[in-house]
Amino acid sequence: MDHTQTLEHIRSLIEKQLARIERMKAEGDFVDYDALDKLIIGVCGGDGIGPAITAEGSRVLEFLLSEEIAAGKIEIRSIDGLTIENRAAQNKAIPEDVLAELKACHVILKGPTTTPKAGDPWPNIESANVAMRKELDLFCNMRPVKVPEKNIDWVFFRENTEGSYAVGSQGVHVTEDLAMDFTVTTSQGTDRIIRLAFDYARKNGRKRVTCVTKANIIKATDGKFLHMFYDIAKEYPEIEADDWFIDIMTAKLVDEKRRSQFEVVVLPNLYGDIITDEAAEFQGGVGTAGSSNIGKRYAMFEAIHGSAPRMVAEGRDKYADPCSILRACVMLLRHIGKIDRAEKLERALDICCTEERKLVITGRADGATGAEFADYVMSRIEK
């Protein structure tokens, strides 16, 4: 790519982001699920072990929402076509027909998807997760981590649509010696994620919101995020606001004296990806954690682990642990206002994962299958 092409590429990226800002300025309020004639939940298996675990999530949702489904108030739809094979064949992060099906839903339960990396046999297509977050404007990735015996009760608000991932597949090779990528921070995108974190803290009795950046080094984009954080914090005087740099924050999460002081954490996309995977280890690893992706019109709930293609190749997908997707179901139920069902499922998961542990998932034939474990969880749900 010569210098003229490079400059034209950068100009195009800037124009697309400016257009996105205008769309954000015009966005309306959050969807009122209670006002809908029918709430549509899409279940999208993804690839790898995704179809196996989302099938169990779908069964549990059908069990818990049976009355609403029978009354025609809720519909659960299965959405296929988000496999790496189909995405590669169409050279699309999300094929158009699949995207149309997703947009016909209100909330989505999604399995993991494979993102090609250097050396893979797949084309350099964008992450399906990143594309879905952008297409559906799912600007907030909220991940709770709670381990009472370690005095841990954290809620992370990761910005989903900007930062280092916004144009992650659109970097440039200026010469064979120079490659450049780009980071995006907007006033509108930063304002809505930070306000959501403070609003959550206020509504849930949290007393502290922490911002994580590397603003001492990444001065324009991270600096803007941090500056806006403190400006918005002035509107929430009852809540303590502080900030940490990403490198020391990773250390403080394992500091037994310090970590219990964190409550709500808000941070740009890349740092959020790193920190929430680390945090999930405290409650048993990424296989035990769910994730919510929230926008004003759509919401998507997912497992935060990968697609584990090796398990499928070895015929072990039926032994994949569905706990992460079931934790995502808890968040989905809370989001659509079914708080009682969410609490029942969460309690059943706590019993099955930590208290009784009558069935254990090992990922192999010496442990329970995902279906057996889901049956176990449902047997512990108080109807």
318-348, pLDDT tens digit by residue?
Answer: 999 999 899 999 999 988 989 899 989 999 9
Q: What is the pLDDT of residue 353?
A: 85
Residue 14's φ and ψ, nearest 5 degrees, are -65, -45
pTM above 0.85, yes or no: no
Q: Give the model confidence (pLDDT) of 87-143 as tens digits.
A: 999 999 999 999 999 999 999 999 999 887 766 777 778 889 888 988 998 999 998
pLDDT in tens, 52-85: 999 999 999 999 999 999 999 999 999 999 999 9
Contact between 346 and 377 under an 8 Å Cβ cutoff? The reply is no
Residue 313: count of CB within 10 angstroms of its CB = 10
pLDDT value of position 12: 93
Element (H, E) at 251: helix 246-252
Domains of the chain: 1-28+139-288 (3.40.718.10), 31-136+295-383 (3.40.718.10)
Q: What is the rounded CA–CA span in Å between residue 362 and residue 57?
A: 18
Convert the pLDDT of each residue in 209-222 to its tens digit: 999 999 999 999 99
CB distance 109 to 332 below 8 Å: yes
